[in-house]
Amino acid sequence: MTKLNWGMIGGGEGSQIGPAHRLGALADGRFALAAGALDHRPEEGRAYAQRLGIAEDRAYGDWTEMLAGEKGRDDRIDLVTVATPNATHFEITKAFLEAGFNVLCEKPMTLTVEEGEEIVRVARKAGRICAVNYCYSAYPMVRQARAMVRAGELGRVRLVVTNFSHGHHGDAGDADNPRVRWRYDPKMAGVSGQFADCGIHALHMASFVCDDEVERLSADFASTIPSRELEDDAMVNFRLAGGTVGRLWTSSVAIGRQHGFDIQIFGETGGLRWMSEQPNQLLYTPVGGRTQIIEKGEAGLHAEAQRLSRVSIAHPEGFPLAVANIYCDLADAISGEARDGLPDAEAGVRSMAAVHQAVASARDNGAWVDARPPMFR
Ligand code: NAI
């Protein structure tokens, strides 16, 4: 199999998410790291790219140089990952799509709903893939949960409850640390803090597993550390289009919780629970029965969960392999094989609309609002 050429923007040395992308993209031999503009400091970015094995002429100082350089090549990159800070996602993603490149953009895809809708339109017009890195949706046991819901194994889903709550910004004495402070400063982070950062993963997960879209929501936002302008805790009630009741709690001051992402799905004939810190197990309870543990890699899983299980049963698979599943689906999609679970720009703009509408709801004492972007109303 010929490897696809992959490029990366952001994710430089010491970044949080860069290593997960490199481990994920390169895990299956489907991509080769061919180009990069990895750092906001051009010289550091060029040097690091070369240390990662990128040829000197494709170790770019910034993304505009990379766009110009890659456009003219016969062996141009087949996919570019945008893993820069949020405020830059829109212009970089748009420019690469318009030039005919496929893009994997980090979440949140944009800062505004209008920008998100523009990305959907540009991707459609260019006929290129624009995926968004909702990587938790690519864990095998999350795909198993979705397949069970789709197959009617829980009956109609009455209720979905999801949390993404950690305690890593719970120390008021550390609130002025520049690496923490920007997240709650609207000039740097946009209209929302914790909900836009972590809550949208949970909201996407609820919609993904239930295979239904978020239609309405009501939000309560709190800045529990008073110096913070944006929320560090949020409770969001929502409804999916098919009537499923949704509850979401997201927090960064929940001291004692580490990653803190889990989801429970309650149907008429059974319930499911998945926790990101034990990602290889899915708990299933049939109505009136005992709780069972469904293990990644066991016999009898749905095909989608089986396809994305890499190593044999009981060997842990973690976050970088969930990211690798996104890259596998992208490699298939680029090669013309449609992949149903790949989170796309439409999912990206739905999240942005939910963020902005949650902010409006919270300012209006939790009034129920339409959560959908105007283009999907
Ligand atoms: P970070 O601050 O740790 O790293 C950002 C990197 O981008 C740095 O290497 C920096 O030099 C580089 N950079 C900044 N501006 C640039 C530019 N204009 N051109 C090229 N490189 C540039 O940030 P982190 O935490 O890695 O986050 C990056 C993105 O990934 C954010 O949008 C964040 O929301 C997202 N993220 C997603 C996660 C997920 O689970 N999907 C988890 C963590 C972050």
Query: Are residues 33 and 20 both part of a single domain?
Result: yes
Question: Is the minimum distance from the CB of 84 to ligand 1 under 6 angstroms?
Answer: yes
CA distance 223 to 362: 12
Determine if the peptide bond prior to 108 is cis (ω within 30°).
Answer: yes
Mean pLDDT score, 291-315: 94
Contacts of 36 (CB under 8 A, 6+ apart): 7, 8, 9, 45, 49, 52, 54, 58, 59, 60, 66
Question: Is the minimum distance from the CB of 83 to ligand 1 under 6 angstroms?
Answer: yes
Residue at which a domain ends, from 135, 160, 185:
135
Residue 188 confidence class, pLDDT cut points 50, 70, 90: confident
Q: Which CATH number is 284's domain given? A: 3.30.360.10
Contact assessment for residue 351 and residue 361, using Cβ atoms and an 8 Å cutoff: no
Query: Are residues 64 and 158 both part of a single domain?
Result: no
- Residue 279, pLDDT score: 97
Question: Is the minimum distance from the CB of 184 to ligand 1 under 6 angstroms?
Answer: no
Q: What is the pLDDT of residues 71-113, one digit of tens each?
A: 999 999 999 999 999 999 999 999 999 999 999 999 999 999 9
Residue 326 lies in a domain: no
Please name the residue whose Cα sits nearest to atom 25 of ligand 1: 16
Contact assessment for residue 5 and residue 74, using Cβ atoms and an 8 Å cutoff: no
Query: Are residues 104 and 164 both part of a single domain?
Result: no
Please name the residue whose Cα sits nearest to atom 24 of ligand 1: 16
Give the SS3 label for residue 366: coil
165 - beta bridge partners? 251
For residue 4, pLDDT over 90 is answered with yes
Mean pLDDT score, 219-229: 97
Query: Are residues 164 and 130 both part of a single domain?
Result: no
Q: What mean pLDDT is reported for the chain?
A: 97
Residue 334 lies in a domain: no
- Residue 178, pLDDT score: 86
Give the SS3 label for residue 279: coil
131 - beta bridge partners? 104, 344
Query: Are residues 104 and 143 both part of a single domain?
Result: no
Give the SS3 label for residue 252: coil
- Residue 88, pLDDT score: 95
Residue 336 confidence class, pLDDT cut points 50, 70, 90: very high
Query: Are residues 205 and 350 both part of a single domain?
Result: yes
Question: Is the minimum distance from the CB of 323 to ligand 1 under 6 angstroms?
Answer: no
Between vectors from CA 376 to CA 370 and to CA 377, what angle results, nearest 5°? 45
Contact assessment for residue 97 and residue 123, using Cβ atoms and an 8 Å cutoff: yes
CA distance 363 to 200: 19
Give the SS3 label for residue 229: coil
Residue at which a domain ends, from 135, 150, 165:
135
Residue 369 lies in a domain: no
- Residue 120, pLDDT score: 98
Q: How far is residue 60 from each of residues 88, 124, 296, measured CA to CA in Å?
A: 17, 28, 40
Q: What is the pLDDT of residues 228-247, one digit of tens each?
A: 999 999 999 999 999 999 99
Q: Which CATH number is 101's domain given? A: 3.40.50.720
Query: Are residues 219 and 255 both part of a single domain?
Result: yes
Question: Is the minimum distance from the CB of 320 to ligand 1 under 6 angstroms?
Answer: no
Q: Record the tokens describing residue 249, joined without a space.
A: 């709690």
Going from the Cα of 15 to the center of ligand 1, the distance in angstroms, rounded, reads 6
Residue 201 confidence class, pLDDT cut points 50, 70, 90: very high
Residue 298 lies in domain:
137-312+344-363
Going from the Cα of 39 to the center of ligand 1, the distance in angstroms, rounded, reads 9
Query: Are residues 120 and 233 both part of a single domain?
Result: no
Residue 153 confidence class, pLDDT cut points 50, 70, 90: very high
Beta 245-251 vs 261-267: how paired, if at all? unpaired
Percent of the chain with pLDDT over 70: 100
CA proximity to 375, closest of 128, 107, 90, 114: 114
Residue 179 confidence class, pLDDT cut points 50, 70, 90: confident
Going from the Cα of 49 to the center of ligand 1, the distance in angstroms, rounded, reads 16
CA 145 centroid distance within chain: 17
CA distance 206 to 51: 40
Residue 69 lies in a domain: yes
Question: Is the minimum distance from the CB of 10 to ligand 1 under 6 angstroms?
Answer: yes
Q: How far is residue 128 from each of residues 38, 123, 263, 329, measured CA to CA in Å?
A: 23, 5, 32, 14
Question: Is the minimum distance from the CB of 265 to ligand 1 under 6 angstroms?
Answer: no
Question: Is the minimum distance from the CB of 88 to ligand 1 under 6 angstroms?
Answer: yes
From the CA of 84, give the closest atom in ligand 1: 7
Residue 46 confidence class, pLDDT cut points 50, 70, 90: very high
Please name the residue whose Cα sits nearest to atom 17 of ligand 1: 40
CA proximity to 325, closest of 121, 134, 44: 134
- Residue 148, pLDDT score: 98
Residue 338 confidence class, pLDDT cut points 50, 70, 90: confident
Element (H, E) at 235: strand 233-240
Q: Record the tokens describing residue 72, joined without a space.
A: 């003219």
Residue at which a domain ends, from 135, 165, 198:
135
Sign of CA dihedral 250, 305, 281, 83: negative
Residue 368 lies in a domain: no
Query: Are residues 173 and 274 both part of a single domain?
Result: yes
Please name the residue whose Cα sits nearest to atom 40 of ligand 1: 135
Contacts of 173 (CB under 8 A, 6+ apart): none
Residue 323 lies in a domain: no
Query: In degrees rounded to 5, what are phi and psi of residue 234?
Result: -150, 140
CA distance 319 to 23: 10
Residue 152 lies in a domain: yes
Residue 200 lies in a domain: yes
Q: What is the DSSP string of 71-108?
A: HT-TT--SEEEEES-GGGHHHHHHHHHHTT-EEEEPSS
Question: Is the minimum distance from the CB of 16 to ligand 1 under 6 angstroms?
Answer: yes
- Residue 147, pLDDT score: 98
Query: Are residues 114 and 205 both part of a single domain?
Result: no
Contact assessment for residue 133 and residue 326, using Cβ atoms and an 8 Å cutoff: yes
Query: Are residues 180 and 117 both part of a single domain?
Result: no
Number of domains in the chain: 2
Query: Are residues 113 and 143 both part of a single domain?
Result: no
Choose one of 13, 15, 134 to mutate for the ligand 1 pocket test, by most ligand atoms within 8 angstroms of C-beta: 15
